[in-house]
Amino acid sequence: MDDLYREVIIDHYKNPTYRGELDPHDISFEDENPLCGDQIRIDIRLDEQGKVSEAAFSGHGCAISQASADLLLESIQGKSVDELKQLTKQDVLDLLGIELTPVRLKCALLSLKVLKAGVYGVNQATDSLVEE
Amino acid sequence: MIEETARDLNISRIREDFPILSREIRPGVPLIYLDSTATSQKPRQVIEAMDEYYRRSNANIHRGLHTLAEEATAAYESARERIARFIHARVARELVYTRNATEAINLIAYSWGRKFLQEGDLVILTEMEHHSNLVPWQMLAAEKNLRLEFIPVREDGLLDLETYQALLELRPKLVAFTQMSNVLGTINPAKELIRQAHQVGALTLVDGAQSVPHFPVDVQDLDVDFLAFSAHKMCGPTGIGILYGKEALLQEMPPFLGGGDMIRKVHLRSFTPNELPHKFEAGTPAIAEAVGFGVAVDYLAGIGLESIAVYEKELIAYAMERLEEIPGVTVFGPPAEQRGGVTAFAMKDIHPHDVAQILDTYGIAIRAGHHCAMPLHEKFKIQATSRASFYLYNQKEDVDRLVEAIYHVKHIFGA
């Protein structure tokens, strides 16, 4: 537990670097976890080479969902759209560096699902987007 | 305060009946179960009766002529009779076994609602309904073009009875409401709501999922037309519940599910339905669960619902007092005198999922989320709450441990 709520997660939850909204944006998507009502919107701007120049998230939810969104956006700076498509569940878990129960896994993966739904231009952030 | 009722209720003896309460969640961390509103724990009497049924008497019920089938049928029907006495029903055939309270409400919507409700008819619900007493009516309303109206919940967690008066003037066909909110703990004035509904010719359905386990419910005194409740919230097993209905109403209703046991005669192109209550019980039912349900009501009746209700009221008063003392904690709902043993609360800047997860490390089981009442949370403009709930096996020490652990949550979040 001390692991689950280790300082880096509490810190990203309380003082996120990438919280906000970008308007205009090149990619934007929003969805929620119906189980707990956690909600995340991600906005992305791309540079001329099609790489992430700016990213921001907004919404509300538990420490795990919000911290993982902040960590995820930190990790995608400068990445190409193709690279975003390659992101997996394991990438997010590596960022968090913690073990998660199946329920909390949904919190942790919400931001990745939202990101990939936006990148793929689909209308719903489904679990299949983040399966290996 | 609690020591006083201990004369009526021997809590340490009661706790010994529940094997799960001696479990440790991890070495040295005993379970503190504060999630009985979701499902109650089971006394060994219930567990042993179900085990014994499978070891000695297991057979399919009705029509069987061998000893086991007769024993199984007798056990199944005897449980129905004891549950009927528990809610003071006139006769046992007014009780239909269902899977749970949810299925019981769906049965009313599909069978009674489809036959007796017409386009434009009004059904009154409340804003504090569990999804189980909301979605079946939304589905039926979409199918039949019904009108749904809602008794508002006031800021203090009580129903707005003035608006109810106004809604009744619109001549509803049905008023369906929970007797006790699973989030706010509010105990609604069911008898009065029913009396007023009857005055304008409406029928009434009470969701008793939270009330029947926790205080005496007398269907004849309430004069309620339909009552739904689940075994698993009252010391019984999962997978079985009850729909109570006044006999004359159940008689007029068409069957719900078709299949074996619900028929008297079947031809290739037609059937004649069986008599009550079997008309509504298609297929092999949850027999062992009925046996367990019967023992559960015996267990509760043996302790006494009055004593349980008094004890829970003392526990919840103590819990609310302690929780409200914690800076940054908001408790929702009415004062202890008007509620059962449930309290939903929010912690400033800390999400309920984080609260629940950290409490789990202290062995404390609470629930976090919208508790199947999303519209109610919308009303109070909160996404989710943490909920602690109490039953006859909880004790004052559980509240103390909860409060201690909440301070740990605050510490972790630097709040």
Report residue B415's pLDDT band, with 50, 70 and 90 as the boundaries: confident
pLDDT tens-digit map of A67-90: 999 999 999 999 999 999 999 999
> How many CB atoms are located within 10 Å of the residue A56 CB?
21
Residue B265 has pLDDT above 60, yes or no: yes
Tell me whether residue A131 is in a domain: no
In a domain, A32, yes or no: yes
pLDDT at B400 over 70: yes
Q: Among this protein's residues, is B372 annotated catalytic?
A: yes
> What is the tens place of the pLDDT at every residue in A102-129?
888 889 999 999 999 999 988 777 888 8
pLDDT band at B161 (very low <50, low <70, confident <90, very high): very high
Q: Which of B47, B249, B317, B372 is catalytic?
A: B372
Alpha helices in B93-189, H assignment, sequence order:
101-107, 114-116, 135-144, 161-168
Are B353 and A62 an interchain contact pair (Cβ–Cβ within 8 Å)? yes
List residues of A whose CB lies inside 8 A of any B CB: 1, 4-5, 10, 14, 35-39, 60-64, 104, 107
Say what the pLDDT of residue B201 is. 98
User: What pLDDT score was predicted for residue B383?
Assistant: 79
Higher pLDDT, B179 or A36: B179
**How many of the other CB atoms lie within 10 Å of CB of B218?**
13
Query: Which pLDDT belongs to residue A93?
Result: 92
Q: Is the peptide bond before A24 cis (omega within 30 degrees of 0)?
A: yes
Mean pLDDT of chain B: 95
**CA geometry: angle at B345 spanning B342 and B346, to 5°?**
165
Calculate how close chain A gets to B236, using CA atoms only, in Å.
26
Q: Which residue of B has its CA nearest to A38?
A: B383
Count Cβ atoms below 10 Å from residue B238 Cβ, excluding itself. Answer: 16
Contacts 24+ apart (CB under 8 A), A112-115: A112/A68, A112/A72, A112/A87, A113/A31, A114/A29, A114/A30, A114/A31, A114/A40, A114/A41, A114/A42, A115/A29, A115/A42, A115/A44, A115/A72, A115/A76, A115/A84, A115/A87
**How distant is the Cα of A27 from the closest Cα of chain B, in angstroms?**
26
- Asked if B332 contacts B157 with a C-beta cutoff of 8 angstroms, the reply is yes
Q: Using a CB-CB distance cutoff of 8 angstroms, which residues of chain B are in contact with residue A10?
A: 412-414
Q: Do B383 and A37 touch (CB under 8 A)?
A: yes
B378: closest chain A residue by CA: A37
Name the closest residue on chain A to residue B413, using Cα atoms.
A10
Identify whether A11 is part of a domain.
yes
Q: What is the CA radius of gyration of chain A?
A: 14
B362 has a chain A CB within 8 A of its CB: no
Percent of chain B with pLDDT over 70: 98
What does the pLDDT read at residue A6?
A: 81
Question: With bands split at pLDDT 50, 70 and 90, how would you rate the model's confidence at B64?
Answer: confident
Model pLDDT for residues A47-63, shown as the tens digit of each residue:
999 999 999 999 999 99
- Tell me the nearest-neighbour CA distance from B274 into chain A, angstroms: 41
ipTM of the complex: 0.82
Domain interval for residue A43: 7-121
Quote the tokens at residue A103.
Answer: 């329920």
Residue pair A64/A10 in contact by the 8 Å Cβ criterion: no
Q: Which residue has the tokens 């999804």?
A: B131
Which of A51, A61, A71 is closest to A31 using CA atoms? A61
A36 with B368: Cβ contact below 8 A: yes
CATH of the domain at A79: 3.90.1010.10
Dihedrals phi, psi of A10, to nearest 5 degrees: -60, -40
A132 in a domain, yes or no?
Answer: no
Cβ contacts of B349 on chain A, cutoff 8 Å: 14
Q: What is the pLDDT of residue A132?
A: 63
User: What is the per-residue pLDDT across B13-37, written as a single tens digit (0 to 9) for each?
Assistant: 999 999 999 999 999 999 999 999 9
CA B74 to chain A, closest CA, distance in angstroms equals 42
Q: How far is residue B322's CA from residue B340's CA, in Å, rounded to a whole number? A: 17
What confidence score (pLDDT) does residue B308 get?
97
Nearest to B294 by CA among B42, B11, B51, B49: B49
The 10 Å Cβ neighbour count of residue B236 is 31
Q: How many domains does chain A have?
A: 1
User: Which domains, ranges and CATH numbers included, belong to chain B?
Assistant: 2-35+305-412 (3.90.1150.10), 47-302 (3.40.640.10)
Amino acid at B139: M
Tell me, yes or no, whether A21 lies in a domain. yes
- B343 and B386 Cβ atoms separated by less than 8 Å: no
What's the pLDDT score for residue B1? 42
Beta-carbon contacts of residue B330 (< 8 Å; ≥ 6 apart): B345, B346, B347, B348
- Give per-residue pLDDT as tens, A1-21: 557 788 889 999 999 999 999
Q: Are B333 and B311 in contact (CB under 8 A)?
A: no
pLDDT at residue B5 tops 70: no
CB B380 within 8 A of CB A37: no
Cα B126-B132-B136 angle, rounded to 5 deg: 90
B265 or B301, which is more confident? Answer: B301
Q: Check pLDDT > 50 for residue B2.
A: no
Considering only CB atoms, which chain B residues are within 8 Å of A3?
A: none
Return the percent helix, strand and coil in chain A, to nearest 5. 45, 20, 35
Report residue B6's pLDDT band, with 50, 70 and 90 as the boundaries.
very low
